[in-house]
């Protein structure tokens, strides 16, 4: 097992992200997904963690399974509703399973059940991710700490300059690399990373990549559930064309609806491969693919992009996309 920051000093990383299932019987199913990812020798797999410790038990179980497969695991960890004691106890538990990489986050605010609005009281000792980074760096130095980044600016930032300033603060507090939120707009990412470097942020940046597998998880009507800042997430023309090309007609038969979904998925995976190739030319030190707990599609993208070879030795690199993806 290794600290992810040490791997980043040697090469570009390729990794996957999974989330603990809500179903009681979901962990065994997820383990099969992880087994598929393992065949592609990922540099690490990350596992999400609910605000206030929700899903913590399953998160520990998933992380433990990843480690037992000989794969580096990074746990996401949020500080909302946490105290020094709960953080100490939880991080010691993760460490007992061999986990030594952590993504330090503030986490999402709880929703007030009466008003339906976010309750901005964090309810604990820590209010910002930078405070959590500092605490883990000081009290749990065995962990390699990642901080989050948002190329299209965090939804709670008062300005893009404040957002950049807090990136510097997290770096100085002890973060060793950045795991950036997905960004479909290549130009926006380029502008962000150039400004970030100019601001003195020198840590490696691993970028999350959201595969376009269906109209629900591509930028569009449901993007609010899948991006940090839905109001600012740009929709590239090339992806908008795919979204518009493959909507199932109203009243279509189940067979036709499935055909449209299959066509969208194929075109969307091709588009995601193209995005990865562009991003690799834009000061990215790692590609972190969100599996959406659909490992077969995620590993297809890894193969097609040439990031990892087929375990069966097949030539699966897609050198000529079948759809027009636009110019760089």
- Residues 6 or more apart in contact with residue 245 via CB below 8 angstroms: 267
CB 14 within 8 A of CB 45: no
Cα–Cα dist 18/324, whole Å: 30
From 7, 13, 72, 8, select the one nearest 286 (Cα to Cα). Answer: 13
pLDDT of residue 280: 96
Return the bridge partners of 147, or none: 104, 178
Return the bridge partners of 208, or none: 288
State the pTM of this model: 0.88
Q: Find the distance separating the first CA and the last CA of the chain, reported in whole Å.
A: 37
304-311: long-range contacts (C-beta < 8 A, 24 or more apart)?
A: 304/269, 304/270, 304/273, 305/273, 305/276, 305/277, 307/14, 307/276, 308/14, 308/40, 308/41, 311/39, 311/40
pLDDT of residue 109: 63
Both structure tokens of 124: 């604990």
Side-chain-side CA neighbours of 39 within 13 Å: the count stands at: 17
pLDDT tens, position by position, for the chain (328 residues)? Answer: 799 999 999 999 999 999 888 777 778 889 999 999 999 999 999 999 765 556 677 899 999 999 999 999 999 999 888 889 999 999 999 999 999 999 999 877 666 667 666 655 656 678 889 999 999 999 999 999 999 999 998 878 788 899 999 999 999 999 999 999 999 999 999 999 999 999 999 999 999 999 989 876 665 434 334 444 444 567 888 888 888 888 767 788 888 888 888 999 999 999 999 999 999 999 999 999 999 889 999 999 999 999 999 888 777 766 655 544 444 3
**Tokens 């990215």 identify what position?**
284
- Residues 6 or more apart in contact with residue 156 via CB below 8 angstroms: none
pLDDT of residue 324: 47
Both structure tokens of 184: 């479909």
pLDDT of residue 216: 66
Helix residue spans in the chain (DSSP H): 4-8, 26-38, 56-68, 84-96, 129-139, 160-173, 186-198, 237-245, 254-279, 295-304
pLDDT of residue 53: 55
**Domains of the chain and any CATH numbers:** 4-235+272-304 (3.20.20.220)
pLDDT of residue 47: 95
Give exposure, 178-199, as e/b (b: 16+ Cβ within 10 Å).
bbbbbbbbbebbbebbeebeee
pLDDT of residue 270: 93
Cα–Cα dist 264/258, whole Å: 10
pLDDT of residue 232: 54
From 128, 125, 137, 86, select the one nearest 105 (Cα to Cα). Answer: 128
């Amino acid at each position: 097992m290794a600290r992810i920051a040490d791997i980043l000093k040697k090469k570009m990383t390729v990794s996957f992200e999974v989330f603990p299932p809500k179903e009681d019987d979901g962990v065994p199913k997820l383990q099969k997904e992880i087994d598929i990812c393992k065949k592609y020798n990922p540099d690490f797999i990350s596992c999400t963690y609910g605000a206030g410790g929700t899903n913590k038990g399953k998160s520990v179980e998933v992380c433990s399974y990843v480690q037992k497969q000989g794969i580096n695991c990074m746990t996401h960890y949020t500080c909302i509703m946490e105290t020094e004691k709960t953080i100490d106890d939880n991080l010691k538990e993760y460490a007992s399973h061999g986990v030594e990489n952590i993504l330090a986050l503030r986490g999402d605010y709880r929703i007030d059940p009466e008003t339906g609005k976010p309750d901005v009281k964090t309810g604990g000792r820590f209010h910002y991710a930078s405070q959590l980074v500092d605490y883990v760096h000081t009290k749990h130095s065995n962990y390699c700490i990642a901080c989050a980044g948002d190329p299209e600016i965090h939804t709670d930032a008062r300005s893009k300059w404040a957002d950049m300033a807090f990136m510097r603060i997290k770096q100085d507090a002890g973060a060793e690399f950045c795991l950036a939120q997905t960004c479909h707009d290549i130009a926006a990412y380029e502008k962000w990373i150039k400004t970030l470097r100019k601001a003195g942020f020198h840590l490696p940046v691993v970028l999350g990549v959201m595969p376009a597998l269906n109209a629900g998880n591509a930028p569009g009507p449901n993007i609010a559930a899948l991006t940090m800042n839905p109001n600012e997430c740009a929709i590239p023309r090339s992806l908008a064309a795919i979204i518009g090309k493959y909507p199932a007609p109203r009243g279509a038969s189940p067979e036709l609806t499935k055909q449209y979904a299959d066509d969208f998925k194929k075109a969307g995976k091709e588009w995601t491969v193209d995005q990865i190739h562009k991003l690799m030319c834009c000061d990215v030190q790692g590609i972190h693919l969100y599996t959406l707990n659909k490992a077969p599609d995620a590993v297809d993208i890894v193969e097609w992009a040439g990031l990892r070879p087929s375990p069966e030795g097949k030539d699966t690199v897609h050198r000529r996309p079948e759809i027009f993806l636009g110019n760089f």
